[in-house]
A and B are shown apart, each in its own frame.
Chain A
Amino acid sequence: MSDTAPILALKTVSKIFGKGDSAVYAARDVSFALHSGRTLALVGESGSGKTTAARLIMREYSPDHGQLLFQGAPLGKADARAIKAYRSSVQMVFQDPFSSLNPAHTIRYHLERPLRLHQPGLTGSQRKAAIAELLTRVKLDPAIVMPKYPHELSGGQRQRISIARALAVNPKVIVADEPTSMLDVSVRLGILNLLNDMKAELGLALLYITHDIATARYVAEDIMVMYSGQIVEWGAMDSVLDNPQHPYTRLLLSAVPDPDRRFSDAGAELDQIETIRRRAALPQPEIRQVAQNHFIRPMPEDGR
């Protein structure tokens, strides 16, 4: 999606859960690439496979078909050293800042651990300085926050800790799975600004997964829309949002809360929800380019 070589890519990856009649394609022929200094947003249906894509990147699942490429090289049969490098290069930030931090440990402990693992050479005071730097980076006051326990912080502060922890190992890629859905509007904007700054200052590549398409536009240059395991439309953010071509993308965008439209005057797409759902779930192998950086997988006609 840009001229530079991608840092990380999925190439025609499929992931199937279950067997026979109950088999679910959580990923069907999924391809995308992450680039340094850019954010790619992943939006779509609940249960379409967004978290599965994140888990494939985190190597919690291995693909049933297809490949994961890191800096151009397939990771499948990589040696132990390459895998270790990969693990510290790719970090994840989760949706729930409550359950991803251990209530029994201080903030200092949460940040000390990754530093010990990835920079074992640091002395105690160097490590403390590194923690202070990380906290400052996520706009928290180290002196106040370091000795605190997670329950003594607000949701937004906790999410900043999760981000600081991810940054502790100097990653190249951050996967954020609904990092702000538990936070309210004013706090949410602070976290989104923080992600934007990280991208610009540290040259990180970001995958931002969300149900909130307006926040996706706030942080990402490119967007992918997922339905039933398939990426049905992708490309430059404003091209996709202003000129959506796949029926599911249109349905999704027509349902985004809009204070200018009362519920009583629902759009035409909403009358066809079931038809669109049925057809968008069928395999859509063909790819069609609709603009310079804008693609869809056209839906097959009914009955084929």
Chain B
Amino acid sequence: MTNPVLSVRNLVIDYIGAETDFHAVKGVSFDIQPGELFGLAGESGCGKSTIAFAVSRLHRPPALIRKGSEILVDGRDVLTLDDDALRAFRWREVAMVFQSAMNSLNPVLTIEEQFYDVLRTHTQTTREAARARAAELLKLVDISPDRLSAYPHQCSGGMRQRIVIAICLALNPKLLIMDEPTTALDVVVQREILQRIDTLRKQLGFAVLFITHDLSLMVQVSDRIGIMLEGHLVEVNDAQTIYHSPQHDYTKRLWASMPKLHGAQIVREATS
């Protein structure tokens, strides 16, 4: 048995309010193995992004991680890291592609400068070395190095999203977190991006925490899937089990409300 790259133990996160606190994550525990693609699914507002931000240590007040929670990356508790350790942790250990990341590139910088920014902050590098590394990273996501001199608005949405992923891979993280990385894109572009991620994680060995609403897509790419409901992780299983024999009623209901592309359509009573 290898050691998990990520181990979340009894994670409790509240949003602190003026009068009452909102309990967003209620005692969640799960592991991700090195190289594994782990999917996290569940209704809007169930706490998926809150967990993603906590794991990458990007959570901000009013979010408060309660005492007793543990987030171990490679065996080290990331909740106890000081500022210096955090700087070394981000990008090298865990990198995150945000919901709507394709709009997060700096519009006034060329693609090359965006790579240089990250590489320079975290490593001793020259411009030449950074350019060579950036070209190599772009090739990983099927983008020609000619694009280094382009600005974000000159690239399509799918291309911008792949650039963000390439930047996230710049420092060889052990865990890549992707929060709804392809929601606004057509299914062909979505498929190209995720197929690329699937190949890269096998080639480079990083693990992925993948968040989406689309259960069918999740079953296609994930090794294991966790289903969340109102802050609780209600079911964790390998992808085929989640699809063929879901255990929790909520997982069954999710499947029952997915319209079909061919054959008999779902019945209306599926909604409640």
Residues of A that sit less than 8 Å from B by CB: 44-48, 154-155, 181, 183-190, 192-193, 211, 213-215, 217-218, 241-242, 251-253, 255-259, 261-264, 266, 270, 273
Contact = CB atoms under 8 A, between A and B. Distances in A.
Given A189-B270, A190-B271, A192-B259, A184 B188 contact: no
B184 A252 contact: no
B217 to A, nearest CB: 4
A-B complex: 10 closest residue pairs judged by Cβ atoms: A257-B217, A218-B259, A259-B219, A257-B216, A255-B191, A255-B187, A214-B259, A46-B186, A189-B257, A255-B188
Contact of B183 (A181, A264, A273): A181
A22 to B, nearest CB: 11
B215 A211 contact: no
8 contacts: A46-B185, A181-B184, A184-B213, A186-B253, A190-B271, A217-B259, A261-B220, A263-B191
Interface in B234-272: 243, 253-254, 257-262, 265-266, 268, 270-272
Nearest to B44: A184
Interface stretch (B3-11, B51-59, B192-200): B192-200
Contacts of A273: 188, 192
Nearest to B217: A257
B221 interface: yes
In the complex, which of the residues B195, B254, B259 has the most CB atoms of chain A within 10 Å of its own CB atom? B259
Interface residues of B, number: 42
Q: Which of B217, B220, B268, B270 is most buried by chain A, counting CB atoms within 10 A of its CB?
A: B220
Contacts of A263: 191, 194-195, 198, 220-221
Given A211-B186, A255-B191, A187 B157 contact: no
B195 A186 contact: no
A120 B110 CA distance: 54
A202 B156 CA distance: 39
Contacts of B215: 185, 259
B214 interface: yes
Interface in B117-157: 156-157
Most A C-beta atoms less than 10 A away, residue of B156, B191, B192: B191
Contacts of B254: 185-186
B157 to A, nearest CB: 6
B146 to A, nearest CB: 16
B188 A259 contact: no
Nearest to B43: A184
Contacts of A270: 191-192, 195
Contact of A45 (B186, B192, B219): B186
B188 A241 contact: no
Contact of A257 (B187, B195, B265): B187
Contacts of B261: 213-214, 217, 241, 253, 256, 258
